[in-house]
Amino acid sequence: MHYKKYEIEGTDAVSDITRFVKCYYLRAYESNFPNGFIWVYEDYSFLNGSDLMVCIRVDISNAAENKILVEFIAGGGGSGLFFKLNSGGESRRVKKFTNDLIAFCNERSLKLSVIEQTT
C-alpha cells in the first residue's frame, strides 16, 4: 500500500479541492462524515491483471482557516500466493494523483504541502 497526505491552503480551497476530487474519478463511491468525505474506487492494473483499491479522504475540519487535508491511498495491486509481487501500480497512482493535484493547485494559487507519505 502507498499513500500520501497533503495539506492545502488558500481561499476557496474547500470548494476547489472538493470539485477536483469528485471529478478525478467519476464512478467512485462516496461516503460522507461530519468534516469531509471519502471517495473510493477500483482501478484495474493491466501489468498484473488485478484491481487496485484507491481511497481519497478529504478532511475539511480546518476549513475556517482555509486549510484542507487530502489523503490519497492506493493498495491491493500486487499478486502472489505467499508474498506480494508488486509491479509499481500503487506508487504510479500516487505519483499521477500528486502531479495532477500540484497542477490543479498551481492553477488556483493554492499552497500544497506533503505532510506524510510512504517511504
Q: Which residue in this structure is represented by grid cell 475556517?
A: 64
Each residue's pLDDT, cut to its tens digit, for the chain (119 residues) gives 899 999 999 999 999 999 999 998 888 999 999 999 999 998 876 666 667 889 999 999 999 999 999 999 998 755 555 445 555 678 888 899 999 999 999 999 999 999 999 86
Helix 89-107 vs helix 13-24: crossing angle, to nearest 10: 140
- Tell me if 100 sits within 8 A of 112, measured CB to CB: no
Please give the angle made by the CA atoms of 76, 6 and 71, to the nearest 5 degrees. 30
- Quote the domain boundaries for residue 97: 2-117
Looking at residue 81, which CATH number applies to its domain? 3.30.70
Q: How many domains does the chain have?
A: 1
- For the record, the C-alpha cell of 28 comes out as 467512485
Distances from the Cα of 3 to the Cα of 15, 90, 91, 95, angstroms: 23, 9, 8, 10
